[in-house]
């Protein structure tokens, strides 16, 4: 009878260790796109050329293949540990080689996807 009890104890111990180790998963931070601060975006004004915008903001993350007159600067960051996210989106419109409009649909959005408490 002892070998059965010892075997069960080992199985329960192995399951407990597996559950504890499963909680120790490391999640990487995810960062994608162009990280722009407000000063960089404010420096872009109508009348600038494409090369001036590229110098200030860098190469756009998304270039619209259907409209060469729109550059999208998108940024997304997700903290691996708690799932908190941060994203921003800036659109620069051109007419020919000149900036005609700058859109900031919610320049910075932050969302905490972690549990409260």
Note the pLDDT tens digit of each residue in 96-112: 999 999 998 764 444 44
| Interstrand relation of 98-103 and 109-111 (parallel, antiparallel or unpaired) | unpaired
> How many CB atoms within 10 Å of residue 111?
11
- 33: in domain: yes
Q: Which residues contact 53 (CB under 8 A, 6 or more apart)?
A: 44, 71, 92, 99
- 117: in domain: no
Q: How many domains does the chain have?
A: 1
CA distance 30 to 97: 34
- 20: in domain: no
Q: Which of 16, 28, 37, 43 is nearest to 79 (CA)?
A: 28
Please tell me the pTM assigned to this model.
0.66
8-state DSSP, 35:
-
Span 23-72, pLDDT tens digits: 667 788 888 888 888 899 899 999 999 999 999 999 987 777 888 899 99
pLDDT at 117: 37
Q: For 76-87, what is the mean pLDDT? A: 86
Range of the domain at 72: 27-111
- 83: in domain: yes
């Amino acid at each position: 009878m002892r070998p059965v009890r010892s075997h069960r104890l080992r199985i329960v111990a192995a399951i407990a260790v597996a559950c504890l180790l499963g909680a120790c998963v490391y999640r990487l931070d995810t960062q994608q796109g162009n990280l722009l601060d407000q000063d960089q975006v404010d420096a872009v004004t109508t009348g600038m050329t494409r090369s001036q915008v590229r110098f200030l903001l860098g190469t756009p993350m998304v270039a619209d293949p259907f409209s060469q007159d729109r550059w999208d600067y998108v940024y997304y960051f997700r903290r691996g540990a708690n799932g908190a996210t941060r994203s921003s989106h800036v659109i620069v419109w051109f007419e020919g080689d000149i900036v005609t409009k700058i859109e900031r649909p919610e320049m910075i959005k932050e969302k905490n996807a972690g549990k409260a408490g």
